Each structure stands twice: as structure tokens, then as C-alpha cells.
């Protein structure tokens, strides 16, 4: 199956700093990638849709200036959490659909962000 990698898997940062999370599709091209946030024991919450070569589409309530998304190539999307605060601590997961596969999405392993 398709492989999506995510880096880093865990990051601890101090309040006020910025953190960049990378999401790569390893064996296929992805013009679209999705960024999710997940709270403990809960389902996925879509934050934004990352589009290669154009601006990301953010879901209602997600601050675009705080969660910067860049989709620089067909295999890489990055999420930067700017001026992180403890309430931004969460599990962030990216996914990429494999086109022609009934909308099936392939997920990265996730990034656990802890802001102290």
C-alpha cells in the first residue's frame, strides 16, 4: 500500500516557539494532503486541506496564521505551529488520498506535540 511518512514523531517545545511538521508521500504523488488534529480517545478533526501550488483551505475555527501550511511539492506538505502554547499540545496527523481509490486515504504515523 501507499506510504506516508511524518516527521518528527514526537516534539517538545517551549511556549512561544514555532514547530514544523513534515508530511511526505513516499511512493506516490499527492496534489492534496490533509492535516488532522486528534484529542485523546477521540476521532480525527480536519484542520485544513493542503493543495500543491496553491493556498491551503482551512476548516472553520482553525487559525490560518497560527497553523501555516505549505505544500511545496507533489510529495511534501508542512504544517508549522507558530507561537505554540500549551493548548496546542495534541496529536497531529497528515494523510494523502491515492487518486482513483475511492477516496481512500493513507495516513502518516502522527506527531505528538507537547508545548511546555
Partner 1 sequence: TQLLEQSPQFLSIQEGENLTVYCNSSSVFSSLQWYRQEPGEGPVLLVTVVTGGEVKKLKRLTFQFGDARKDSSLHITAAQPGDTGLYLCAGPFLDSNYQLIWGAGTKLIIKP
The binder of partner 1 chosen from 13, 32, 52, 82 (CB under 8 A): 32
Do 84 and 63 contact (CB within 8 A), yes or no?
Answer: no
The binder of partner 1 chosen from 19, 34, 37, 69 (CB under 8 A): 34
What residues between 49 and 88 interact with partner 1 by CB under 8 A? 49, 51
Q: Alpha-carbon distance 26 to 40, whole Å? A: 28
Q: Answer yes or no whether residue 8 interacts with partner 1 by CB under 8 A.
A: no
Q: Alpha-carbon distance 81 to 103, whole Å? A: 27
The binder of partner 1 chosen from 39, 72, 109, 116 (CB under 8 A): 109
Q: Answer yes or no whether residue 42 interacts with partner 1 by CB under 8 A.
A: yes
Q: Answer yes or no whether residue 97 interacts with partner 1 by CB under 8 A.
A: yes
DSSP class of residue 86 equals G
- Listed in sequence order, the residues at least 6 apart from 59 whose beta carbon sits closer than 8 Å to its beta carbon are 45, 46, 47, 48
| Closer of 16 and 109 to partner 1 (Cβ) | 109
Amino acid at each position: 500500500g501507499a506510504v506516508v511518512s511524518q516527521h518528527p514523531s514526537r516534539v517538545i517545545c517551549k511556549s512561544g516557539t514555532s514547530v514544523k511538521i513534515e508530511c511526505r508521500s513516499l511512493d506516490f504523488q499527492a496534489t492534496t494532503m490533509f492535516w488532522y488534529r486528534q484529542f485523546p480517545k477521540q476521532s480525527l478533526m480536519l484542520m485544513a486541506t493542503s493543495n500543491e501550488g496553491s493556498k491551503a483551505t482551512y476548516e472553520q475555527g482553525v487559525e490560518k496564521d497560527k497553523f501555516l501550511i505549505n505544500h511545496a511539492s507533489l510529495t511534501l506538505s508542512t504544517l508549522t505551529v507558530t507561537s505554540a502554547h500549551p493548548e496546542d499540545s495534541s496529536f497531529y496527523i497528515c494523510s494523502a488520498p491515492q487518486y482513483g481509490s475511492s477516496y481512500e486515504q493513507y495516513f502518516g504515523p502522527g506527531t505528538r506535540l507537547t508545548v511546555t
